[in-house]
Structure 1
Amino acid sequence: MKEVVVALCDGVVLLDVAGPMQVLHGSGGYRIRRASIDGRPVRTDVGVLLGADLALDELEGPIDTLLVPGCAPPYGDRPGEAFSNLVRDIGGRARRVVSVCTGALLLAEAGLLDGRRATTHWAAGAELESRFPRVALEPDAIFVRDGPVMTSAGVTAGIDLALALVEDDHGPDLARTVAKYMVVFLQRPGGQSQFSVRGAVPATRHPGLRRLLDAIAAEPAADHTLAAMAAQVAVSERHLTRLFRREVGLTPGRYVERIRVEAAQALLETTTDGVASIARRCGLGSDETMRRTFLKVLRTTPTAYRRSFRTSRSHRGVVDTVGGAQGDAVPEQPEGLTLTC
């Protein structure tokens, strides 16, 4: 039984706690204790009181895993220096430190992410980068592992992270069984991006750039070379690159690539068109070019993506079972695993 300590503070995100705890408890391989700064219950972001087993300063000796969930006002102020000091102390004695969602900010405040790669909820990425320049943000990841420290993206990504912990500690078979009972993927097969690039881009105040972004989305396969786009906006290529970096947060080429990939994802999910045809329609050229681009952006192939995300609801009124094909035998429930609905 590996000991996991969940560090609680007022305003803690309930799902950041409940999701990973459900996974770890379901595996039967962990002793989980919740610790607050004074040992008293905390009020979660949705107003629910969450009990604590002990105070953080009552923890003695080494522990296996420190888990720090995110914190979301208004139900509590951001944790202060006392909380950060305790997280730093306990994290230094832990074999492994993990965070969920904006818990990465709390780890950064404690100095536990200095010089490391990390991720967090997409909405908190800019804050993490600006406040903690020594942290190498990977804004598009579901979770990031850097040595003994793991950080995950927003809320439900904590389930992905917890399943990875179970797989590390107890093997893929148990992790797969827990995932099936929770009706989630053991590992999200592609589509690793936390968000749509179009949805993540703030509204630009530059009218020419706004028209260009609309045009790219409307016709991904059109000529969107740097020269062509600069001519459309009536600026130099260098100035257009600066505009994209300032207003969009990406280079022009990277933005166009992401729009084309998202267009291809939609067609893979909703049509039976061949990969070569989709590649041409989305401006990705050949099927081989599309394959290389998918591997770079989504870490999966177009065929694997379609197999994982293709919906059959409009054709058969049913979606294949997550974690296995329809008709798979239900795995024997392991000892200690509790199925809740």
Structure 2
Amino acid sequence: MVAYPGVHHLDVVGPLEILATTQFFVEGAELPYDLSVVAAKAGPIKASSGLTITADKSFSSILEAEGVIDTLIVAGGHGSSEQLTNPELLDFMRTMAPRAKRVVSICTGALILAEIGLLDGKRASTHWFWCPVMAQKYPNVTVDHDAIFTCDGNIWTSAGVTSGMDLALALVEMDWGHEVALQVARFSVMYMMRPGGQAQFSAHLLAQKAEDPAINEALAFILDHPGDLLTVTSLAARATMSERTFARRFKEQTGVTPAAYVETARVQTARVALETTEQSIDRIAVSTGFQNAERMRRAFHRHVGISAGDYRERFRMSREPGHPARAGPE
């Protein structure tokens, strides 16, 4: 695991904890993974949280060792931008990538892989906020804006923060089989495969992104009134703009069309209702603006990857706090 100053603490320890947990479930393997945190120098590294991570090996010690390594992982974080111009780290990654059986990035670590050309001609993901940046800066990369993680050849990339744990769980399944991965998921209180993509998590965050007050007001109105008639005509009228101007400015400020954002907001509101209420799916579909259950079903498949009914079955809160609706991931 490659770390550096300003790295996101969870990008480092989250995936490593998933890999380390295999030791409790792999028979005959006392240490299924030999894990190391590496940096320019061995010793303490201050993460973006202010907490300290200790690198137990230096770049030079890894470069001097002979042979291949199984998995080379680079973490993301606020400090990743500075690493894009750090020759020591970039040279290490360029040299070690061909010596690794697989190369993995967590969150904005994908930008580092893109910077050294490792993602050229490949499909990749990163944190949803940074997807447009990566797409613009590295046009030879096919950026998947919605994937929790991607695998293209021997290159694995993940979206933001906790998705690195989802990716690590997929590595465990590849290395040790489904049953071990399932036990690690249960032990870690995770789903074996998280439904849907990262777009489902960003509607409220996206509402904080726009700088234009009129667009901000439209975003807030959509989130507060998902059941209303939210056409470009009605929203443009609220913003006192022409439809064309509103649609253009909305996409400039948010990166998505008004219709796409409305659907995202409605799915998000419906998700909460499915998780926390006993309302019927038909009633939720009407109250969130989908008009009927079939339209909501199609929207859920687009955004979450499963039907609204399956989503409720998996995620509905139990009546007793602290207990899931189901015994565990399947």
Normalised by the length of structure 1, the TM-score is: 0.83
Aligned counterparts of 1:53 and 1:204: Cα–Cα separation in 2: 43
Structure 1 stretches of 4+ with a deviation exceeding 4 A read: none
* Identical positions, percent: 38
Residue 317 of structure 2 contacts residue 325 of structure 2 at CA under 8 Å; is this kept in 1? no
Which residue of structure 1 aligns with residue 201 of structure 2? Answer: 195
Residues 211 and 158 of structure 1: is their aligned pair in 2 closer, same or farther, counting only changes over 3 Å?
closer
1:17 to 9, 12, 17: 12
Which residue of structure 2 aligns with residue 265 of structure 1? Answer: 271
Say whether residues 1:142 and 2:137 are aligned partners: no
Residue 13 of structure 1 contacts residue 44 of structure 1 at CA under 8 Å; is this kept in 2? no
2:55 to 51, 59, 66: 51
Residues 190 and 303 of structure 1: is their aligned pair in 2 closer, same or farther, counting only changes over 3 Å?
farther
Q: What is the one-letter code of the residue matched to 1:26? A: T
**CA displacement at 1:231 relative to structure 2:** 3.5
Which residue of structure 1 aligns with residue 307 of structure 2? Answer: 301
Which residue of structure 2 aligns with residue 279 of structure 1? Answer: 285
Say whether residues 1:78 and 2:73 are aligned partners: no
Residue 9 of structure 2 contacts residue 51 of structure 2 at CA under 8 Å; is this kept in 1? no
**CA displacement at 1:302 relative to structure 2:** 0.7
For structure 2, the residue ranges without an aligned partner over 5 or more in a row are: 24-31
Say whether residues 1:252 and 2:255 are aligned partners: no
Say whether residues 1:36 and 2:32 are aligned partners: no
Residues 322 and 141 of structure 1: is their aligned pair in 2 closer, same or farther, counting only changes over 3 Å?
farther
Residues 278 and 236 of structure 1: is their aligned pair in 2 closer, same or farther, counting only changes over 3 Å?
same
Which residue of structure 2 aligns with residue 167 of structure 1? Answer: 173
1:209 to 192, 197, 215: 215
**CA displacement at 1:126 relative to structure 2:** 4.3
Q: What is the one-letter code of the residue matched to 2:22? A: S
Aligned counterparts of 2:78 and 2:224: Cα–Cα separation in 1: 37
**CA displacement at 1:279 relative to structure 2:** 0.7
Residues 203 and 86 of structure 1: is their aligned pair in 2 closer, same or farther, counting only changes over 3 Å?
closer
Of 110-119 and 250-259, the range deviating more from structure 2: 110-119
Q: What is the root-mean-square deviation in Å for CA atoms of aligned residues?
A: 2.6
Aligned counterparts of 1:7 and 1:186: Cα–Cα separation in 2: 26
**CA displacement at 1:160 relative to structure 2:** 0.9
Determine helix, strand or coil for the equivalent of 2:182.
Answer: helix
Q: What is the one-letter code of the residue matched to 1:83? A: L
Which residue of structure 2 aligns with residue 335 of structure 1? Answer: none
Say whether residues 1:319 and 2:318 are aligned partners: no
Which residue of structure 1 aligns with residue 298 of structure 2? Answer: 292
Number of corresponding residues: 317
Aligned counterparts of 1:203 and 1:8: Cα–Cα separation in 2: 29
Residues 141 and 44 of structure 1: is their aligned pair in 2 closer, same or farther, counting only changes over 3 Å?
farther
Write the deviation string for residues 58-79 of structure 1: whole angstroms up to 9, x where unpaired. 24333221111124449x9536
Q: What is the one-letter code of the residue matched to 1:319? A: H
Q: What is the one-letter code of the residue matched to 1:106? A: I
Aligned counterparts of 1:67 and 1:194: Cα–Cα separation in 2: 26
**CA displacement at 1:18 relative to structure 2:** 1.6
Residues 216 and 10 of structure 1: is their aligned pair in 2 closer, same or farther, counting only changes over 3 Å?
closer
For structure 1, the residue ranges without an aligned partner over 5 or more in a row are: 1-5, 329-341
Say whether residues 1:181 and 2:187 are aligned partners: yes
Which residue of structure 2 aligns with residue 7 of structure 1? Answer: 2
Aligned counterparts of 2:198 and 2:327: Cα–Cα separation in 1: 17
